[in-house]
């Protein structure tokens, strides 16, 4: 094949090499706009896996590259005058200029034609004479941008400003240096890539950048200002830029995340940064470019594969890898963009939060990397959780948490889950076993299902209630059992279904109206949940008084039962949530309109409940932190304001759920998918929060808690199949101090021994 590679970066050069290695008969030419030896950027970092891949593909260039690698192990985080050092991270770096030199030499040796100072124009008819034109022309690809619709280009310009500099100062560790200045936070990411040279990327928010006056400075002035700012770390070494003499480069940039729906159009194929970019803070752009090149060369040379099938396979496989990396990169980008959310942390937690920012590194990964450091974090966590009383080194999920005078033994909670199994609202033997068993299972806090404050407040005829003496007696039996047989605390979740009421049992059809015996429903406005549901009656002031008083009466009954805590359900589109979300609240009175108005009634109910609930007992509120709507819905930004408003009325915990507030929601699911909302409410609002949503591993729980993304973690579905989730986690993590019913102690220690033996055998196999 006759192939032109536009751009002599890692992607173009490595593709040319990989093609020639597979079939020397290919005619390949690489066109690069810059002269040889002149390039932007300084060093690049690789992972061990990338090294394995390039060694398998071309042992010759891999040998030269790996010989010149600089290795380092530690990460230093400089923050508020402290340096937090953790080890075991294992980085490998090389100068970009040197990498390109090695690749150019190898390409030449294999017979690739290299043309420098050759600016290529996508409109040039020359390209029609090639079988394939590889657009390996980087992030600002002209060949991609000439056909934006054909490639389905999606560009996301990120908020922060950064400049990619170099220095002769040699950093022994990967260094993050955060400086708090009169203009705001500014920080550097620095790492060594050669024996005498380090990359030094400076980053800050756009606002800070403007306040510094970087927008009006020349490149030299910017560099001088950065030298002054980071003088403590540079030990007199200068900062340098190599962008000034390059075509098409600027000093300060905003990172541009590129995604393309299609990677091929006609004879043009996108490769590397031209097709996709990953934020520099996870340092994987070069890896992706090299791996793209290997895959594309593979499929193009596979016998019997048509060109179309080859290109389809190339995109299908590579785009999946890219998607995973871009997801991690997005988390990492956002962490730096919302840095000020975390600057109230103590240095150790700040460093932990930084290390786990992309969600690719978890608590247990950190233990494998540097056990001693992780144990320092665990000790710090326990000390803080116990007002300095405990010196324990143990997983954060087992640390106690205090709200008012109630202390939970650990941070795991059984999330509220409707069981649809009551008759006339009365919990029965099913509920007795269900809640009793989950309390025995070791969770620190067990929530009841949404328990309804009147018959009309029920979602379905099977919902539990709290409006008469039968309810009090039945709930009291459950609460007494929990208190007598476990250390778990039990929280009564109270709610009103609003416009989502009068529907079938959960497993008969979610939100589907009853076949017969429907009762009238009411809501903030006359917006039905779906065309199949009733049109609710907009609440009058008299309705509001009645329902508020029903909530208060239920609180008093909850007290009689001995509950430890009350939660108000103001999420998921039920009555109070219908006031909060603008998608359901269309009122024109003082309860509709802006957020302050929409919150007025839910806050009134909460305040009345709080007044009836003893001041030494805690209360929480469950909110939907987003409506998962592209426009007009509640946003995570609103969620902070909503959390703050409830906290002002005496909420001790914000239970941060999301969605289910309108039928056309577009949620984005994944592991721990709602935790970012809890993180935001907790750290912007400085409130105690509980995270929920697809948290299912002890490692998830520990990572969330240690990173300060929540104070408690709630698990719903995992507890349906495993009431003993917490005890199992204790066995898995070899934590002995968990409360276990004495009747079950033998089982717990046996499980712990077996799991330990299995872990040791697996570790021995790995060695």
Ligand X SMILES: Cc1cc2nc3c(=O)[nH]c(=O)nc-3n(C[C@H](O)[C@H](O)[C@H](O)COP(=O)(O)OP(=O)(O)OC[C@H]3O[C@@H](n4cnc5c(N)ncnc54)[C@H](O)[C@@H]3O)c2cc1C
CB 464 within 8 Å of CB 471 = yes
Task: Work out what residue 366 binds among ligand FMN, ligand X, none; the CB cut-off runs from 5 to 8 Å by kind.
Answer: none
Q: How many residues bind ligand X (CB under 6 A)?
A: 33
Residue 717 C-beta: closest distance to ligand FMN, Å: 3
Residue of minimal CB distance from ligand FMN? 716
Nearer to ligand FMN among residue 295 and residue 434 (C-beta): 434
State how far the Cα of 674 lies from the Cα of 704, in Å rounded to an integer.
11
Question: Which helix (H) or strand (E) is 757 found in, with range?
Answer: helix 745-766
Q: β-strand 689-692 against 653-657: which pairing, if any?
A: parallel
Residue 724 three-state SS: coil
- 150 burial (CB, 10 Å; 0-12 / 13-18 / 19+) is middle
User: Is residue 142 within the footprint of ligand X (CB under 6 A)?
Assistant: yes
Q: What are residue 447's DSSP bridge partners?
A: 491
Task: Work out what residue 31 binds among ligand FMN, ligand X, none; the CB cut-off runs from 5 to 8 Å by kind.
Answer: ligand X
Task: Name the one range near ligand X by CB under 6 A: 82-90, 267-275, 319-327, 340-348.
Answer: 267-275
Residue 11 C-beta: closest distance to ligand X, Å: 3
Residue 189 three-state SS: strand
Number of C-beta neighbours around residue 126 at 10 A = 11
119-138 positions binding ligand X, by CB under 6 A: 119-120, 136-138
Residue 293 C-beta: closest distance to ligand X, Å: 9
- How distant, in Å, are the alpha carbons of 305, 430, 507, 550, 623 from that of 419? 54, 9, 10, 22, 20
Nearer to ligand FMN among residue 142 and residue 569 (C-beta): 569
Residue 29 C-beta: closest distance to ligand FMN, Å: 54
Residue 551 C-beta: closest distance to ligand FMN, Å: 15
Nearer to ligand X among residue 32 and residue 334 (C-beta): 32
State how far the Cα of 276 lies from the Cα of 365, in Å rounded to an integer.
27
Q: β-strand 153-167 against 197-204: which pairing, if any?
A: antiparallel
Applying CB under 6 A, among 76, 227, 273, 567 the residue interacting with ligand X is 273
User: Is residue 283 within the footprint of ligand X (CB under 6 A)?
Assistant: yes
CB 604 within 8 Å of CB 548 = yes
Nearer to ligand X among residue 271 and residue 629 (C-beta): 271
State how far the Cα of 493 lies from the Cα of 126, in Å rounded to an integer.
71
Task: Name the one range near ligand X by CB under 6 A: 3-11, 315-323, 391-399, 473-481.
Answer: 3-11
Alpha helices (H) along 649-697: 675-685
Task: Work out what residue 415 binds among ligand FMN, ligand X, none; the CB cut-off runs from 5 to 8 Å by kind.
Answer: ligand FMN
First to last CA, the chain: 45
Residue 23 C-beta: closest distance to ligand FMN, Å: 50
Query: What are the tokens at 145?
Result: 């941008």
CB 638 within 8 Å of CB 585 = no
Quick one: how far is CA 543 from the chain centroid?
41
CB 153 within 8 Å of CB 145 = yes
Task: Work out what residue 543 binds among ligand FMN, ligand X, none; the CB cut-off runs from 5 to 8 Å by kind.
Answer: none
CB 75 within 8 Å of CB 355 = yes
Applying CB under 6 A, among 3, 4, 6, 194 the residue interacting with ligand X is 6
In the shown chain, the binding pattern of residues 158 to 197 toward ligand X, with x for contact by CB under 6 A and - for none, equals ------x---------------------------------
Task: Work out what residue 7 binds among ligand FMN, ligand X, none; the CB cut-off runs from 5 to 8 Å by kind.
Answer: ligand X
Q: β-strand 406-408 against 445-447: which pairing, if any?
A: unpaired
CB 493 within 8 Å of CB 416 = yes
State how far the Cα of 413 lies from the Cα of 203, in Å rounded to an integer.
39
CB 522 within 8 Å of CB 546 = no
User: Is residue 272 within the footprint of ligand X (CB under 6 A)?
Assistant: yes
CB 132 within 8 Å of CB 1 = yes
Task: Work out what residue 725 binds among ligand FMN, ligand X, none; the CB cut-off runs from 5 to 8 Å by kind.
Answer: none
In the shown chain, the binding pattern of residues 195 to 234 toward ligand X, with x for contact by CB under 6 A and - for none, equals ------x---------------------------------
Task: Work out what residue 119 binds among ligand FMN, ligand X, none; the CB cut-off runs from 5 to 8 Å by kind.
Answer: ligand X
Residue 673 C-beta: closest distance to ligand FMN, Å: 8
Q: What are phi and psi of 565, to 5 degrees?
A: -155, 155
Task: Work out what residue 286 binds among ligand FMN, ligand X, none; the CB cut-off runs from 5 to 8 Å by kind.
Answer: ligand X
Query: What are the tokens at 125?
Result: 């008819």
Task: Work out what residue 280 binds among ligand X, ligand FMN, none; the CB cut-off runs from 5 to 8 Å by kind.
Answer: ligand X
Task: Work out what residue 6 binds among ligand FMN, ligand X, none; the CB cut-off runs from 5 to 8 Å by kind.
Answer: ligand X
Residue 8 C-beta: closest distance to ligand X, Å: 5
Query: What are the tokens at 603?
Result: 């806050």
How many CA atoms lie within 13 Å of 568's alpha carbon, on the beta-carbon side?
A: 33
Residue 329 three-state SS: helix
- Identified catalytic residue from 574, 591, 601, 735: 574
Residue 532 C-beta: closest distance to ligand FMN, Å: 21
Task: Work out what residue 34 binds among ligand FMN, ligand X, none; the CB cut-off runs from 5 to 8 Å by kind.
Answer: ligand X
- How distant, in Å, are the alpha carbons of 586, 667, 687, 734 from that of 627? 15, 8, 21, 40
Applying CB under 6 A, among 104, 198, 222, 286 the residue interacting with ligand X is 286
Give me the count of residues in the chain.
767
User: Is residue 280 within the footprint of ligand X (CB under 6 A)?
Assistant: yes
Nearer to ligand FMN among residue 5 and residue 715 (C-beta): 715
Nearer to ligand FMN among residue 4 and residue 672 (C-beta): 672
Task: Name the one range near ligand X by CB under 6 A: 269-277, 451-459, 684-692, 718-726.
Answer: 269-277
Query: What are the tokens at 717?
Result: 């579905």
Residue 606 three-state SS: helix
Question: Which helix (H) or strand (E) is 154 found in, with range?
Answer: strand 153-167
Quick one: how far is CA 388 from the chain centroid?
30
Residue 137 C-beta: closest distance to ligand X, Å: 4
CB 472 within 8 Å of CB 560 = yes
- How distant, in Å, are the alpha carbons of 171, 464, 499, 508, 535 from that of 514? 68, 17, 13, 10, 14
500-519 positions binding ligand X, by CB under 6 A: none
Residue 275 C-beta: closest distance to ligand FMN, Å: 34
In the shown chain, the binding pattern of residues 11 to 50 toward ligand X, with x for contact by CB under 6 A and - for none, equals xx------------------xxxx------x--xx-----
User: Is residue 285 within the footprint of ligand X (CB under 6 A)?
Assistant: yes
Nearer to ligand FMN among residue 278 and residue 568 (C-beta): 568
Task: Work out what residue 416 binds among ligand FMN, ligand X, none; the CB cut-off runs from 5 to 8 Å by kind.
Answer: ligand FMN
Residue 655 C-beta: closest distance to ligand FMN, Å: 8
State how far the Cα of 697 lies from the Cα of 401, in Å rounded to an integer.
20
Closest by CA to 579, choosing from 563, 568, 588, 591, is 591
Binding residues (CB under 6 A) for ligand FMN: these are 415-418, 449-450, 493, 506, 569, 622, 657, 692-695, 715-718
Nearer to ligand FMN among residue 640 and residue 715 (C-beta): 715
Task: Work out what residue 657 binds among ligand X, ligand FMN, none; the CB cut-off runs from 5 to 8 Å by kind.
Answer: ligand FMN
Nearer to ligand X among residue 18 and residue 584 (C-beta): 18
Number of C-beta neighbours around residue 248 at 10 A = 14
Q: Is residue 669 flagged as an active site residue?
A: no
Applying CB under 6 A, among 9, 184, 495, 618 the residue interacting with ligand X is 9
> Which residues are marked as active site?
574
Site of interaction with ligand X (CB under 6 A): 6-12, 31-34, 41, 44-45, 119-120, 136-139, 142, 164, 201, 272-274, 280, 283-287, 289
């Amino acid at each position: 094949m006759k192939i032109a590679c536009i751009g002599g970066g890692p992607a173009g050069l490595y593709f040319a090499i990989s093609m020639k290695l597979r079939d020397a008969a290919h005619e390949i030419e690489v066109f690069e706009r810059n002269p040889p030896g002149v390039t932007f950027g300084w060093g690049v970092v690789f992972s061990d896996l990338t090294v394995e891949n390039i060694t398998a593909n071309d042992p010759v260039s891999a040998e030269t590259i790996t010989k010149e690698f600089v290795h380092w192990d530690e990460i230093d985080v400089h923050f508020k005058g402290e340096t937090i050092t953790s080890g075991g991270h294992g980085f490998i770096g090389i100068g970009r200029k040197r990498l390109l030199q090695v690749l150019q030499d190898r390409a030449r040796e294999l017979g690739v034609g290299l043309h420098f100072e050759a600016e290529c124009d996508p409109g040039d008819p020359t390209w029609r004479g090639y079988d394939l034109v590889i657009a390996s022309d980087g992030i600002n690809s002209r060949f991609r941008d000439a056909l934006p619709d054909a490639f389905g280009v999606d560009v996301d310009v990120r908020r922060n400003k950064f400049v990619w500099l170099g220095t002769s100062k040699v950093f022994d560790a990967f260094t993050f240096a955060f400086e708090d200045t009169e203009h705001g936070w500014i920080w550097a990411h620095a790492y060594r890539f050669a024996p005498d040279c380090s990359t030094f990327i400076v980053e800050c928010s756009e606002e800070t950048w403007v306040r510094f006056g970087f927008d009006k400075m020349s490149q030299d002035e910017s560099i001088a200002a950065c030298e002054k700012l980071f003088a403590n770390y540079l030990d007199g070494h200068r900062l340098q830029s190599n962008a000034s003499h390059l075509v098409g480069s600027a000093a300060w940039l905003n990172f541009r995340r590129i995604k393309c729906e299609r990677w091929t159009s006609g004879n043009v194929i996108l490769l590397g940064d031209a097709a996709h970019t990953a934020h520099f803070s996870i340092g994987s752009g070069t890896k992706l470019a090299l791996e793209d090149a290997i895959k594309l060369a593979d499929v193009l040379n596979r016998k019997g594969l048509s060109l179309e099938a080859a290109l389809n396979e190339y995109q299908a496989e590579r785009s999946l890898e890219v998607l995973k990396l871009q997801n991690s990169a997005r988390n990492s980008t956002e962490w730096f963009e919302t840095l000020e959310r975390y600057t109230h942390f103590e240095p150790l937690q700040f460093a932990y939060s930084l290390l786990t920012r992309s969600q690719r590194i978890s608590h247990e990964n950190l233990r494998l990397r540097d056990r001693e450091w992780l144990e320092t974090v665990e000790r710090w966590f326990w000390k803080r959780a116990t007002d300095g009383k405990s010196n324990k080194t143990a997983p954060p999920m087992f640390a106690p948490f205090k709200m008012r005078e109630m202390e939970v033994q650990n941070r795991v909670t059984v999330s509220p889950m409707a069981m649809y199994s009551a008759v006339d609202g009365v919990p029965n033997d099913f509920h007795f076993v269900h809640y009793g068993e989950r309390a025995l299972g070791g969770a620190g806090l067990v929530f009841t299902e949404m328990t309804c404050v009147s018959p009309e407040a029920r979602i379905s005829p099977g919902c539990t209630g709290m409006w008469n003496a039968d309810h009090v007696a039945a709930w009291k039996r459950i609460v007494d059992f929990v208190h007598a047989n476990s250390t778990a605390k039990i929280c009564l979740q109270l709610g009103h279904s609003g416009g989502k009421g009068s529907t079938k049992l959960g497993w008969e059809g979610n939100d589907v109206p009853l076949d017969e015996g429907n009762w009238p429903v009411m809501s903030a406005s006359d917006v039905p949940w779906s065309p199949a549901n009733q049109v609710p009656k907009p609440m009058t002031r008299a309705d509001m008084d009645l329902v508020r008083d029903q909530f208060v009466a239920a609180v008093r009954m909850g007290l009689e039962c001995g509950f430890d805590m009350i939660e108000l359900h103001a999420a998921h589109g039920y009555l109070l949530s219908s006031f909060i979300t603008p998608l359901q609240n269309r009122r024109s009175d003082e309860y509709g309109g802006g957020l302050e108005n929409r919150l007025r009634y839910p806050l009134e109910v909460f305040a009345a409940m709080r007044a009836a609930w003893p001041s030494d007992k805690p209360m929480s509120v469950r909110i939907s932190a987003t409506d998962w709507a592209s426009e007009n819905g509640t946003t995570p930004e609103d969620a902070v304001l909503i959390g703050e408003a409830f906290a002002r009325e005496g909420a001790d915990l914000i239970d941060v759920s999301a969605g289910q507030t309108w039928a056309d929601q577009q949620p984005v699911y994944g592991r721990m998918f709602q935790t970012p909302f809890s993180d935001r409410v907790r750290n912007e609002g400085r409130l105690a929060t509980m995270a929920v949503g697809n948290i299912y591993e002890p490692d998830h729980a520990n990572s969330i808690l240690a990173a300060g993304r929540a104070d408690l973690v709630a698990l719903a579905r995992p507890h349906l199949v495993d009431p003993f989730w917490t005890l199992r986690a204790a066995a898995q993590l070899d934590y002995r101090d968990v409360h276990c019913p004495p009747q079950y102690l033998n089982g717990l220690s046996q499980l712990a021994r077996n799991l330990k033996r299995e872990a040791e055998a697996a570790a021995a196999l790995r060695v």
